[in-house]
Chains A and B, each alone.
Chain A
Amino acid sequence: MKIKTLIITIVALGLAVIYLVPVIWMGLSSFMDEKDILASKWIPSRVHLENYKIVLHRAKISRWFINSLITASLGTLGVLGVGIFAGYSLGRMRYPGRRILFFFALSGFMIPIQGIMIPLYLMIRKFGLVNNLLGLILPAWPSSLAVFVLSQFMREIPIEYEEAARMDGANEFQILFKVILPMSLPAIITVTVFHFTAIWNDFLWPLIIMTSDDMYTLPVGLVTLAGSDVNIRYGPIMAANVIASLPIIIVYAFFQRYLARGFIMEVK
């Protein structure tokens, strides 16, 4: 029995390490000069920090980083802002037409962004938001997924908590913010991590609406960087990759155990 545990564990860990080889390689290459990389080395012959200097110096990577950070933060805040109220309304309030509104909100699942990106682009252009971070932020706000996850989670909270607060004279806002919201924290974290990562990593939409390299987000900036300057190759690109990846890995490390919980809750 013990031996079986040992063998299965070794196999699983081995698979996981092999799985991480590309990430490890990315990290190692970011410290290599071009000669090492072309010679297929795995250990840098000397730790070569120039890659990071080149990228931070020559590319607008800090600018792209800030653009991504602003977009992902305000995008996610907006998703939560409109999503929490809508989720509370649909999940916990009773009024005529609630079910219709619920299905209306969910119809967003049927409208993939790729299907509407052209009219959406023309609209953003009309609003004068091309090459503007608001053009990335505002369209992210109405998230059907967020409303769905939040309303389903809030629905499960026992009515007794709400009734007790009502007895004490709490109004709807107080019930939402003092009773329901604190208890919905797992769902809120799920929504936050999911949308922050999705917006941070989005590629197609910023590629479409950003026209100057000052306004690129990290994913678009990285790709143009790799395609533009022949001097910025392998090593510096890998350094840029590392810089771009660290924040998300850190966010994930903090919140990983919550990530799937809200999303999968319904899958019983």
Chain B
Amino acid sequence: MPPALAMLLGNLINGAILGSVYGMMTMGLSLIFGVLKIVNVGHGAFIMVGAYIAFWMFTLLRLSPLVSIPIAIAVGMALGFVFFYIVIRRLVGAPELTTLLATFAIGILLEEIAKFLWGPDYRGFNWEVGKLFLGVTTIPLSKIYALMASIAIAVLLYIWFRKARSGTAIRAVMEDREGAQVCGVNVEAIYALSFAIGLGLTVLGGTLLTLFVPVGIHPYMGGIYTLKAFVIAVLGGLVSPWGAFYAGFIFGLIENGSYTLFSLIPGLEPFSMTQFLAFFLLLVILLVRPTGLLGVKP
């Protein structure tokens, strides 16, 4: 096999694995937009919170990031309920101007608290659990665990959405707010729950992300993930958590595959070109297929 092809294959495998985490953390963004019609511009800050949870659990208590999963969900949901009842509750249905600004301000608040508490340094940790040899590439088992955790969470969420009473209520509110209200659904409670679960997923995404960015944990790490999440959410149709999950895989493949191709062209900065491609894709999808690549309904 020619080395370029082997590199492409290896990168694609890595891209699909990272894509599962991308997908999972974008599910939160899509769930919040689908139910509350609010774009969480502070998305990245919650990913940062998740990354710090994994970091402190690992360095202080020697707990593996997999053990941090329930803690991350709990912290994310707690933050979700707090911000919902203090700020967001008053902004549901308000013009974009106010909701975008409010969620951005929440993001700044979290980033600055993180900087105040833990300083601006870059931190990281390395969870060594062995490697998987695949011929074209070698994958740390920690990443495989992240992939399995992402899929497991997505499946659990799917079952909860289909079977549980509160899950079906969320779907009902997504589809028709007034209709759900008439049927006796407590819409405000559903808003609070969706916001909390959305942020729980986002924070959890940050925790799993630490297995891919060994030294990239710092207060302002979230910005780029907010932007990536926008692209993924749009690929998935913006209102559908499941669309977002699939789109995460697609985005991971595109990102890592195009990196290999761009690095073959001289005179280009491959990393920046992959970002350019992502935003170009965002615009094309918004114009041509605003329901998302897969056209998934919520």
Q: Do A and B bind each other?
A: no
